[in-house]
Structure formats: C-alpha cells, structure tokens
Amino acid sequence: MRRILALSILISVIITQSIFAQTQKVSIEKVPFAIGESVRFYSKILKENRILNIYLPISYSELSEKKYPVIYLLDGSAHEDFVHISGLVQFASFSWIDMITETIVVGISNIDRSRDFTYKSNNMQDKLEYPTAGESGNFIEFIEKELQPLVTSNYRVNDQNTLIGQSLGGLLATEILFKKPDLFNNYVIVSPSLWWDDESLLKYSLKENTSKKFIYLAVGKEGQPMERLAYRLKNKLETAKNTSSNLYFELLQQQNHGDALHLAVYHAFERMSYKEKKND
C-alpha cells in the first residue's frame, strides 16, 4: 500500500512539473520593426504640415555614393498603399528577381485627398459630394517646388522618377501627365476617376513631350464609366506622337476598383524592366 501511495505521489509530482514547465512563459524581447522612416515638414504652398513615408533600399546605408530612382506614391499613408507598394518594390528589386533596380519610395500621406487630387468642377453632384475639392493646382505646385526639391536635397536620388496614382490619385496623375509631363519620367495610372467634371480632362490637349514618357494604364472590371473612360484615355495617348511605343494598357479581368492597384503596379514593373533592357 505504501509503495502504491509513493508511486502515486511521484507520478503527481512529475505531471505537475511537466504542466508547470509547459505553462512557463518564455522570456522574449520586443523591438520595433520598421520598413522606412517618416518625414514631417511645413509646406508654404499648402500652408500646412505634411508627412512623407520613405522606404530606402537595403543597400542605401551600405553604398554611400550610389544614387537611386524614386517612386512618388499618391495615397502614401501607412494605412493606405505605402506598406504593400514598398514591399512590392523590395521584392521586384531582389537580385534573384531583378525586375527593377533598387528604388526609393516616397509615400505622400493624405490630409484631404479630394481637395488635393481634383481640379475645379462645374458638375453640381461633384460639388455636393466633394465640397473641399478643386485644389490640385496647388498640390501640383507643391510637388514641383517643394516635394521634389526636398527629396533631392535630402536623399541620394538620380534623375529617374515615377508617379503612381489610383482612382482620384489616377486623375491627378493624368492631370500632371497632360499639363506638367516633365515632372516625372514614368507614370503608373490605375483606375483613374476621369468622370470628374463631366470628363473634362479628356478634352485637354496633350503637350508634345508626353510622347517621351513611359506610361502604364490599367483598369479593373469596374463597369461604366470607369472602363469606357480608361479606354478613351488609352486612345488619346496613342494619338500622341511616338507615344504608343511607351504606352501599356491592361484591363485586369479579375480585379475590381479596390484591389487593382497591387497587381497593376507589379505588371508596370514588368514592363519597365522590359523597356530598360530593350534600351540597354
């Protein structure tokens, strides 16, 4: 009887120790994980503080003399498109992928995107739904006279830059392409909101040097008027002198307005890679 009791006690101790060992918390150390840095500065043109989210390539701190191309990303807040586009840029520039060269990403955080991304509209519905809209002229001036000089003076950049915009951001990217094409070398325009102001931007005459740009245009299966207007923009760009050799258009059959951007940017990078290799 004593042996049975002793054995029972021993088994209980072993089980208790085993359970205690399993429930003991492993000591861990938590440290912040970041994919970039944020820059805050005051814009005299916009009369407000603005925030940029910056992704720097892995080699940026290692190669002190190297200069990098820049992607300017509209809707570049951390809770918008900055994180997933920066991840895509990193992936596409891995040496074993070799789709694009290592690139800096400048995500422009939003304060009021309908204000910054749209020009004045005469459409009453536009005015009702977007009461603060119509200040894209100021925002374009901000990009040209404050944002790009700030990036150039604080980071090692070369003369190659790309603008990415979707939806209202795509409308702004199209406006810049039409009115100030030399601000960027490459344009990635996804699902642009060309319905704005009764489609008036499509009546604008293109500047001749638009033909020297790389332009990737895409739209998802978004119905009307989005698909129709994307095709109208494609046709308009194709009429510009020599534009067709640098223009790529896609209807993304499996994507909608919400999820078209990521795949579109990936496809744009593929075409940029082809263009770079073709021109080598």
pLDDT along the chain (280 residues), means of 10: 57 61 76 90 98 96 91 97 97 94 98 98 96 98 99 96 98 96 95 98 80 89 95 91 74 93 97 66
Which pLDDT does position 122 carry in this prediction? 97
Asked if CATH classification 3.40.50.1820 holds for the domain at 33-279, the reply, yes or no, is yes
Which pLDDT does position 2 carry in this prediction? 57
What is the rounded distance in angstroms from the CA atom of residue 75 to the CA atom of residue 119? 17
Q: Could you tell me the pTM of the whole model?
A: 0.88
What is the rounded distance in angstroms from the CA atom of residue 129 to the CA atom of residue 214? 33
Sign, CA dihedral 103-151-164-50, equals positive
Q: Whose CA is closest to 249, among 206, 189, 194, 174?
A: 189
The 3-class SS string of the chain reads CHHHHHHHHHHHHHHHHHHHHHHCCCCCCCCCCCCCEEEEEEECCCCEEEEEEEECCHHHHCCCCCCEEEEEECCCCCCCCHHHHHHHHHHHHCCCCCCCCCCEEEEECCCCHHHHCCCCCCCHHHHHHCCCCCCHHHHHHHHHHHHHHHHHHHCCEEEEEEEEEECHHHHHHHHHHHHCHHHCCEEEEECCCCCHHHHHHHHCCCCHHHHHCEEEEEEECCCCCHHHHHHHHHHHHHHCCCHHHHEEEEEECCCCCCCHHHHHHHHHHHHHHHHHHHHC
Annotated domain spans of the chain = 33-279
182 token code pair:
């030399």
Which pLDDT does position 273 carry in this prediction? 73
Which pLDDT does position 20 carry in this prediction? 58
Which pLDDT does position 63 carry in this prediction? 81
